[in-house]
Chains A and B, each alone.
Chain A
Amino acid sequence: MTRPAPLVAIKNVTAGYGGLVVLDNLSLDIAPGEFVAIVGPNGHGKSTLLKTISGLVPASRGSIALAGVDITHKRPDRIVAAGIVHVPQGDMLFADMTVLENLRMGAYLPQAAAESGRRLEEVFALLPKLRDRRGQIASTLSGGERRMTGIGRGLMTGGKVLMLDEPSLGLAPIVIDQIYELVDRLKASGRTIVLVEENAARIFERADRVCLLDNGRFVWSGGGAELMRRPELLETYLGG
């Protein structure tokens, strides 16, 4: 059996800030519909990898392609338009806008605006709480509601590839469970998901593939169940 052609192909990418190299000659292929989890200690390049894919951080070497089309040096707004959506760490909501206005900003691009009515219903169906909160100013939401608004806003773009940066960060366990149930449903609907977490057993049982990122390089990748059976890896890279 051959693997399907990758939807996202990252080849030998080096990236960082100023003179500081954060991603060191890193490669990763993501198949359509695949759920890839990227784990590793803080400050080792997980968020930078997502930012490099979404165009916020330029790659100094290497290439990134989406469905065979090179997007390496495109602007972030062009990369969203191409179909990769990045839900950033810490939500980064538009604090003075309502939940509904935040969601509508997700449908800012013309192709997303054309679908915004239907997508808004989809988002409300997935996250019914947002429907109740739609008139509320984003800065007054609880942490869980903020996270849901951030993810809902990302879904409004209609991107084929959904990148989530630490969706469990700072949330109570019960809310984290809700967020991961949502991720399950998004996966079941056929979306390609790239998810970054510091360390969460919750993702090992869900992800098709777990990649361990350490010092800007992938040191291991494989199934989540397999990683659970490798205590030495967990010990070395994820602190047990």
Chain B
Amino acid sequence: MDVLVQIVASGLTLGAMYAVSTVGLSLVYGSLNMLNMAHGAILTIGGYAAYAVSQQLGWPAPLGFLAAIVVGALIGLLIFAAAARPLLKSRNFETNVFIATIGVGAVLENVVLKLFGPYAKPQPLNIPGGVRVGAVLIPYQNIAILGVAIAMMAIVALLLQRSRAGRAIRATAQNREAAELMGVHVHGVYAQVLALSGALAAVSGVMISSLATLSPTMGGDPMLKAFIICVVAGLGNTYGAVAAAMVIGLLEAATQYLLGVRFGFALLLLLVIAVLIWRPSGFFGKARIVRL
């Protein structure tokens, strides 16, 4: 029973963190057909932005959190302006932008290295203490992460479903030319999606670093997992990505507790292989039926 509580508690926390960063990645792929390889770097920068504001400047924690969101969104805009926009008209946009964002990511990571040094630092945005369920202590930090993640997901869902900007994002993702013909300025939509994705990545970076530590390369591992979740869910399927993130978080926690930490990642990769063999377009990806 205690093991189950432990697995569910840490699995939900992991899943929540994965969901926040995966949704950003998925939105960008869904709207632009762009695999953003600088996503991990934004995640790192988000963590450091919170650190810089609340530790180095000594401002209150909520401001640190806000700073991460703002900096993440700005980096997202930077990636649009520096990598995506110049390549939009190129013949092989998907491949070119993939390579370009690897470059942008490397530059960003080295900026962090130069500014903050190579050594791991603790993330000051951390709530001490916890609540006891049976023999298991669930840290408040985990509960806060879950709460913030749910709030972020709710905000994103409301934005996509209810707002004018959200409708433009969905329309552009479903049919770019038709969206343009209805008066949507698609470059504006792309910029907004990258800014939103950057903000989500930064929040995820704050969460992840608050459970582990800050380091200039901390974004790599979560980004890889976000890609795995995207593939399992079906690339570009945002709601599927949230569901897949939660399932994978729980699965990873179960593996770590029952089989050992070193099997966690191996099992994820195994899962991707299985999904790609069994359902190549992902769990929630659908083969679209076109009737004439």
Complex Cα distance A40/B291, Å?
26
Across the interface, do B185 and A75 meet the contact criterion of CB distance under 8 Å? yes
**Interface-centre pick from B171, B178, B184, B288 (highest chain A CB count, 10 A):** B178
- Interface membership of B100, Cβ < 8 A: no
Identify the closest chain A residue to B164 (Cβ).
A108
Q: List B residues at the A interface (Cβ < 8 Å).
A: 164, 167-168, 170-171, 174-175, 177-186, 288-292
- Interface membership of A119, Cβ < 8 A: no
Complex Cα distance A146/B164, Å?
23
Across the interface, do B289 and A101 meet the contact criterion of CB distance under 8 Å? no
Picked from A97, A104, A109, the residue with its CB within 8 Å of the CB of B174 is: A97
- Interface membership of A170, Cβ < 8 A: yes
Across the interface, do A94 and B185 meet the contact criterion of CB distance under 8 Å? no
Across the interface, do A105 and B167 meet the contact criterion of CB distance under 8 Å? yes
Q: How many residues of A contact B (CB 8 A)?
A: 34
Picked from B164, B180, B289, B291, the residue with its CB within 8 Å of the CB of A77 is: B180
Across the interface, do A88 and B181 meet the contact criterion of CB distance under 8 Å? yes
Across the interface, do A139 and B178 meet the contact criterion of CB distance under 8 Å? no
Across the interface, do A92 and B177 meet the contact criterion of CB distance under 8 Å? yes
Across the interface, do A81 and B183 meet the contact criterion of CB distance under 8 Å? yes
Across the interface, do B182 and A80 meet the contact criterion of CB distance under 8 Å? yes
* Chain A residues within an 8 Å CB radius of B180: 55-56, 75-77
- Interface membership of A16, Cβ < 8 A: no
Across the interface, do A94 and B177 meet the contact criterion of CB distance under 8 Å? no
Across the interface, do A86 and B181 meet the contact criterion of CB distance under 8 Å? yes
- Interface membership of A14, Cβ < 8 A: no
A–B complex contacts, Cβ < 8 Å, 24 sampled:
A56-B181, A76-B181, A77-B180, A81-B183, A88-B181, A93-B178, A94-B170, A95-B174, A96-B174, A105-B167, A105-B171, A105-B179, A105-B182, A106-B182, A108-B164, A108-B167, A108-B183, A108-B184, A109-B183, A139-B288, A139-B289, A157-B182, A157-B183, A170-B292
- Interface membership of A209, Cβ < 8 A: no
* Chain A residues within an 8 Å CB radius of B179: 94, 105
Q: How far is the CB of B99 from chain A (nearest CB, A)?
A: 22
Q: How far is the CB of B89 from chain A (nearest CB, A)?
A: 10
Picked from A97, A106, A113, A146, the residue with its CB within 8 Å of the CB of B170 is: A97
Other A-B contacts than A56-B180, A77-B186, A142-B291, 15 sampled, CB-CB below 8 A, are: A76-B180, A76-B181, A77-B184, A80-B182, A81-B183, A92-B175, A94-B171, A96-B170, A97-B174, A108-B171, A139-B289, A141-B291, A146-B291, A154-B181, A170-B292
Identify the closest chain B residue to A112 (Cβ).
B183
Using A93-B175, A142-B291, A170-B292 as known contacts, say yes or no to A80 and B170 having CB atoms under 8 A apart: no
Using A104-B167, A142-B291 as known contacts, say yes or no to A94 and B174 having CB atoms under 8 A apart: yes
Across the interface, do B183 and A56 meet the contact criterion of CB distance under 8 Å? no
Q: Which of A61-104 contact B (CB under 8 A)?
A: 75-77, 80-81, 85-86, 88, 92-97, 101, 104
Complex Cα distance A85/B182, Å?
8
Across the interface, do B183 and A80 meet the contact criterion of CB distance under 8 Å? yes
Complex Cα distance A146/B175, Å?
15
Complex Cα distance A109/B292, Å?
29
Complex Cα distance A16/B215, Å?
51
* Chain A residues within an 8 Å CB radius of B175: 92-95
- Interface membership of A153, Cβ < 8 A: yes
Q: How far is the CB of A103 from chain B (nearest CB, A)?
A: 10
* Chain A residues within an 8 Å CB radius of B177: 56, 88, 92
* Chain B residues within an 8 Å CB radius of A106: 182
Identify the closest chain A residue to B175 (Cβ).
A92
Q: How far is the CB of A3 from chain B (nearest CB, A)?
A: 29
- Chain A window 104-128, contacts with chain B (Cβ cutoff 8 Å), 1 for yes, 0 for no: 1110110011000000000000000
Complex Cα distance A56/B181, Å?
8
Q: How far is the CB of A142 from chain B (nearest CB, A)?
A: 7
Q: Which of A139-197 contact B (CB under 8 A)?
A: 139, 141-143, 146, 153-154, 157, 170
* Chain A residues within an 8 Å CB radius of B174: 94-97
Across the interface, do A101 and B182 meet the contact criterion of CB distance under 8 Å? no
Identify the closest chain B residue to A75 (Cβ).
B185
* Chain A residues within an 8 Å CB radius of B183: 77, 80-81, 108-109, 112, 157
- Interface membership of A52, Cβ < 8 A: no
- Interface membership of A48, Cβ < 8 A: no
- 3 pairs of A and B residues whose beta carbons are closest in the complex: A109-B183, A92-B178, A76-B180
Q: How far is the CB of A115 from chain B (nearest CB, A)?
A: 13
* Chain A residues within an 8 Å CB radius of B185: 75, 77
Complex Cα distance A56/B174, Å?
17
